[in-house]
Chain A
Amino acid sequence: MSIYKFLVFNNNDPRMTGYLTDAQALGFQHLQGLMVHDLYYIEGQLSQEGLQQLALKLLTDPVTQSIKWIELPGTLASDSPGADAVLLEVALRPGVTDPVAEQIVRAAYEIGIDGVWRAATAQRFVLKFNEPAEQPAVDQIVKNLLANPVIQHWAMGEIIPSFPQEAESSGTVEILPIRSLDQEELLALSRERRAALDLAEMQAVQNYFLKEQRDPTDVEFETIAQTWSEHCVHKTFKARITRDDGQVIDSLIKTYLKSATDKINAPWVISAFVDNAGIIDFDDEFEISFKAETHNHPSAVEPFGGANTGVGGVIRDILGVSAKPIANTDVLCFGSQDLDPNSLPEGVLHPRRIQSGVVAGVQDYGNKIGIPTVNGAILYDEGYTANPLVFCGCVGIAPKGRHHKDPQARDRVAVLGGRTGRDGLRGATFSSMTMDAQTGEVSGASVQIGDPITEKGLIDVIVRARDLGLYNDITDCGAGGLSSAVGEMASSIGCDVDLARVRLKYPGLAPWEIWLSEAQERMVLAVPPEHYPALQELCDTFDTELTYIGEFTGDGRLVVRYGESVVVDMDNEFLHEGIPQRQLKAVIEKVSFKSRAFDIENSNIRDRLLALLSSPNIASKAPVIRLYDHEIQGGTVVKPLTGVEADAPSDAAVIKPMGTKGLKGIVLSNGINPEYGKRDAYQMAWSVMDEAVRNAVAVGADPDRIAVLDNFCWGDPLRPETLGSLVEACRGCHDASLFYGTPFISGKDSLNNEYLGADGQRHAIPPTLLISAIGVIQDVNQAVTMDLKKANNLIYLAGEFLPGSEGVVPIVPASTPGVYRAMHQAIKSGLVKSVHDLSEGGLAVTAAEMCLGGRLGMKVNSEASILFSEVNGCFLVEVAPGKASAFEAQFDGLPICKIGKVIPDPILRISNLDIPLVDLFQAFNNPLHL
Chain B
Amino acid sequence: MKPKALVLQARGSNRDLDVMDALTLAGADAVGIPLNDLRNRKTLLSDFQLLVVPGGFSYADALGAGKLLALDLASYFVDEISAFVHAGKPVIGICNGFQALVKSGILPGDSSAGQSTLTFNAQGHFECRWVHLRPVSRNCIWTKGLEEIITCPIAHGEGNFQSLGSLAPEQIAISYVHMDGSSANGEYPANPNGSMLDIAGICNPQGNVLGLMPHPENHIHTWQHPRHTRGETGGSGLKLFENGVKYAGDL
Residues of A within 8 A of B (CB): 12-15, 17-18, 57-59, 61-64, 99-100, 103-104, 107, 110-112, 363, 367-370, 451-453, 456-457, 460, 540-543, 626-634, 636-639, 642, 644, 646, 656, 658-659, 663, 780-781, 783-785, 787, 789, 834
Chain A residue numbers with a CB within 8 Å of B221 are 634
Which applies to chain B's interface (DSSP): helix, strand, loop or mixed?
mixed
Chain B residue numbers with a CB within 8 Å of A627 are 125-128
- Interface size, chain B (Cβ < 8 Å): 62
The verdict on B72 contacting chain A, using a C-beta distance below 8 Å, is yes
Chain B residue nearest in CB terms to A663: B223
CA distance A191 to B89 in the complex (A): 68
A58 and B63 contact, CB distance less than 8 A: yes
B11 and A59 contact, CB distance less than 8 A: no
Chain B residue numbers with a CB within 8 Å of A104 are 62-63
CA distance A375 to B52 in the complex (A): 31
Give residues 109-135 of B contacting A (CB, 8 Å).
Answer: 114-117, 119-130
A368 and B60 contact, CB distance less than 8 A: yes
A103 and B14 contact, CB distance less than 8 A: no
Chain B residue numbers with a CB within 8 Å of A17 are 124
Chain A residue numbers with a CB within 8 Å of B229 are 638, 642, 783-785, 787, 834
B125 and A646 contact, CB distance less than 8 A: no
Chain A residue nearest in CB terms to B217: A634
CA distance A631 to B71 in the complex (A): 28
B21 and A658 contact, CB distance less than 8 A: yes
The verdict on B218 contacting chain A, using a C-beta distance below 8 Å, is yes
The verdict on B243 contacting chain A, using a C-beta distance below 8 Å, is no
Interface string of B126-170 (1 = CB under 8 A from A): 111110000000000000000000000101000000111000000
Q: Given A58-B71, A63-B164, A370-B56, do A626 and B63 touch, yes or no (CB 8 Å)?
A: no
B218 and A634 contact, CB distance less than 8 A: yes
- Complex A-B: 19 CB contacts under 8 Å: A14-B120, A18-B125, A58-B71, A61-B119, A62-B115, A103-B59, A104-B62, A107-B63, A107-B68, A110-B72, A111-B74, A367-B155, A457-B11, A543-B11, A646-B129, A658-B18, A659-B17, A781-B223, A789-B231
Chain A residue numbers with a CB within 8 Å of B4 are none
B60 and A632 contact, CB distance less than 8 A: no
Chain A residue nearest in CB terms to B42: A541
Interface string of B226-246 (1 = CB under 8 A from A): 111111000000000000000
Q: Given A14-B123, A64-B119, A644-B227, do A634 and B21 touch, yes or no (CB 8 Å)?
A: yes
Q: Given A111-B75, A626-B128, do A61 and B67 touch, yes or no (CB 8 Å)?
A: yes
Q: Given A63-B119, A785-B229, do A367 and B60 touch, yes or no (CB 8 Å)?
A: no
The verdict on B27 contacting chain A, using a C-beta distance below 8 Å, is no
Chain A residue numbers with a CB within 8 Å of B71 are 57-58, 107, 110-111
CA distance A623 to B248 in the complex (A): 41
A368 and B218 contact, CB distance less than 8 A: no
B128 and A631 contact, CB distance less than 8 A: yes
B15 and A642 contact, CB distance less than 8 A: no
B124 and A543 contact, CB distance less than 8 A: no
A780 and B120 contact, CB distance less than 8 A: no
CA distance A663 to B224 in the complex (A): 12
Chain B residue nearest in CB terms to A370: B14
Contacts beyond the supplied A103-B63, A104-B62, A631-B155: 9 A-B pairs with Cβ under 8 Å: A63-B164, A103-B68, A367-B126, A370-B57, A630-B128, A634-B21, A634-B221, A656-B223, A658-B17
Give residues 34-89 of B contacting A (CB, 8 Å).
Answer: 34, 36-37, 55-57, 59-64, 67-68, 71-72, 74-75
CA distance A124 to B245 in the complex (A): 48
B127 and A626 contact, CB distance less than 8 A: yes
Q: Given A64-B117, A541-B36, do A103 and B62 touch, yes or no (CB 8 Å)?
A: yes
A787 and B155 contact, CB distance less than 8 A: no
B128 and A629 contact, CB distance less than 8 A: yes
B18 and A632 contact, CB distance less than 8 A: yes
The verdict on B220 contacting chain A, using a C-beta distance below 8 Å, is yes
Q: Given A14-B123, A367-B155, do A99 and B62 touch, yes or no (CB 8 Å)?
A: yes
CB distance from B78 to the nearest CB of A (A): 11
B223 and A110 contact, CB distance less than 8 A: no
CB distance from A755 to the nearest CB of B (A): 30
Of B34, B57, B60, B215, which one neighbours A631 at CB under 8 angstroms? B215
The verdict on B12 contacting chain A, using a C-beta distance below 8 Å, is yes
Q: Given A14-B121, A107-B68, do A632 and B14 touch, yes or no (CB 8 Å)?
A: yes
CA distance A14 to B188 in the complex (A): 15
CA distance A399 to B52 in the complex (A): 28
